[in-house]
C-alpha cells in the first residue's frame, strides 16, 4: 500500500528555509532570513489554513513557528488601517517582510542627551518588501499601517516566543 506524501505547503517550505538560514554564521543571519522570507511573500496561499484575525485594539502577533531550541520564532503580524507599533529598537536580530498591504517604516535618531527620538526618514514597505537588522539599540524605528486596507507582515526574531516581551523590543 502506498501513502501520499503530505503536501509541502508554502508556509512549511518558508519555515524550512528560515531554519536553514538561521543555522549559518551569526553576522549574516538577519540578511539570510530576510531573503528566505522574501521568496514567499507574494504567494497568496502562504497563510492558507492559518487563522490570523486582526484585533480592534492594536496590531496583533500570531505565532507561526517556535524553534525547538528557542533560538528564534516566526510570527505573522496583522495590522488594521491606522494601527502602529511603538517607537522601538531591537534587543535581538530581526527580519521582516510584507505579505499583504503596505506598511510604513519610520526611522529615528536619539540625539545625545535626548530622551525622545527624532524622526529622520520614512520608507513605504509594499508587498514583497523586506527589512532586517542585528540587535542594535541605536537603530530605532516604528512600523505603521497608514493605508486603507489590512496589512499582514511576517517577522522573525532571534528570541524564543515566550520571551518576546522581554527580549525583542526596547521601547522609547
Ligand atoms: Fe521592530
Ligand 1 center to 143 CA (angstroms): 7
CB 27 within 8 A of CB 21: no
Three-state secondary structure string covering 78-139: EECCCCECCCEEECCCEEEEEEECCEEEEEEECCCCCCCCEEEEEEEECCCCEEEECCEEEE
How far does the centroid of ligand 1 lie from the alpha carbon of residue 5, in Å? 38
- What lies within 8 Å, CB to CB, of 23 at 6+ separation is none
C-alpha of residue 88 to centroid of ligand 1, in Å:
6
C-alpha cell at 74: 516566526
44 alpha carbon – ligand 1 mean position (Å): 24
With cut-offs at 50, 70 and 90, classify the pLDDT of residue 7: low
- The residues, any chain, with a CB within 8 Å of residue 68's CB and separated by 6 or more, are none
Q: pLDDT digits over 95-136, tens only?
A: 999 999 999 999 999 988 877 899 999 999 999 999 999 999
CA-CA distance, 33 to 100, in Å (whole number)? 19
Query: How much distance in Å is there from the Cα of 86 to the middle of ligand 1?
Result: 9
Q: Are the beta carbons of 94 and 156 closer than 8 angstroms?
A: yes
**Ligand 1 center to residue 8 CA distance, Å?**
30
Structural domains present in the chain: 10-171 (2.60.120.10)
Confidence (pTM)? 0.92
**pLDDT tens digits, residue range 69-94?**
999 999 999 999 999 999 999 999 99
Amino acid at each position: 500500500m502506498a501513502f501520499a506524501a503530505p503536501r509541502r505547503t508554502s508556509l512549511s517550505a518558508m519555515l524550512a528555509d528560515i531554519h536553514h538560514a538561521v543555522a549559518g554564521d551569526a553576522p549574516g543571519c538577519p540578511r539570510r532570513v530576510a531573503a528566505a522570507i522574501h521568496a514567499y511573500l507574494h504567494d497568496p496561499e502562504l497563510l492558507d489554513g492559518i487563522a490570523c484575525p486582526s484585533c480592534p485594539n492594536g496590531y496583533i502577533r500570531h505565532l507561526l513557528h517556535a524553534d525547538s531550541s528557542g533560538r528564534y520564532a516566526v510570527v505573522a503580524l496583522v495590522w488594521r488601517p491606522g494601527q502602529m507599533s511603538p517607537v522601538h529598537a531591537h534587543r535581538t536580530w530581526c527580519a521582516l517582510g510584507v505579505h499583504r498591504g503596505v506598511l510604513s517604516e519610520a526611522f529615528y535618531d536619539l540625539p545625545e542627551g535626548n530622551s525622545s527620538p527624532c524622526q529622520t526618514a520614512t520608507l513605504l514597505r509594499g508587498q514583497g518588501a523586506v527589512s532586517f537588522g542585528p540587535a542594535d539599540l541605536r537603530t530605532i524605528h516604528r512600523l505603521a499601517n497608514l493605508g486603507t486596507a489590512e496589512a499582514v507582515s511576517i517577522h522573525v526574531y532571534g528570541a524564543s516566543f515566550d520571551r518576546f516581551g522581554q527580549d525583542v523590543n526596547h521601547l522609547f
